[in-house]
């Protein structure tokens, strides 16, 4: 089974500052990688995913993540955060079936005005 580690449980950052949320996974076999965001009292929303191809993937709201196979990492970054980015962020990994996700414990991002 996969193991997903999100190294920071809480990340406070000032508005318009850059942020990086870290994610590492355990296996070097072929995996698919995802970032989900959860706002209070809501379900998970897919932010971005890596399936194959370019190792840098982007979302429509300015987030990007880079797949690094040698370091088994999939860190999430944003160059300038907004208040509305305050939420819980989950990194997830699935193996080649794509049917079962292994989630990290989440990182709570708080954007400070």
Residues that bind another protein (CB under 8 A): 32, 34, 36, 41-46, 49, 51, 90, 94, 97-106
Question: Which of 23, 4, 21 shows the shortest CA–CA distance to 86?
Answer: 21
Nearer to another protein, 33 or 111 (CB): 33
Report, in Å, the least distance between residue 93 CB and another protein: 12
CA angle (71, 68, 99) in 5-degree steps: 100
Report, in Å, the least distance between residue 45 CB and another protein: 7
Contact by Cβ (8 Å): 94, 42 = no
Q: Alpha-carbon distance 20 to 29, whole Å?
A: 25
Nearer to another protein, 79 or 98 (CB): 98
Nearer to another protein, 74 or 112 (CB): 74
Report, in Å, the least distance between residue 40 CB and another protein: 11
Report, in Å, the least distance between residue 79 CB and another protein: 24
Q: Alpha-carbon distance 45 to 95, whole Å?
A: 20
Nearer to another protein, 105 or 110 (CB): 105
Left, alpha or beta for 69 (phi > 0: left; psi -120 to 50: alpha)?
Answer: alpha
């Amino acid at each position: 089974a996969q193991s997903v580690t999100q190294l920071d449980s809480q990340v406070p950052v000032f508005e318009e500052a850059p942020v990086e949320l870290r994610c590492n996974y355990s296996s070097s076999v072929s995996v698919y990688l995802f970032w989900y965001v959860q706002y209070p009292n809501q379900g998970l929303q897919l932010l971005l995913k890596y399936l194959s191809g370019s190792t840098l993937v982007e979302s429509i709201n300015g987030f990007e993540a880079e797949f690094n196979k040698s370091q088994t990492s999939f860190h999430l970054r944003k160059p300038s955060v907004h208040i509305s980015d305050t939420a819980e962020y989950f990194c997830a990994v699935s193996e080649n079936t794509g049917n079962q996700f292994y989630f990290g414990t989440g990182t709570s991002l708080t954007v400070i005005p």
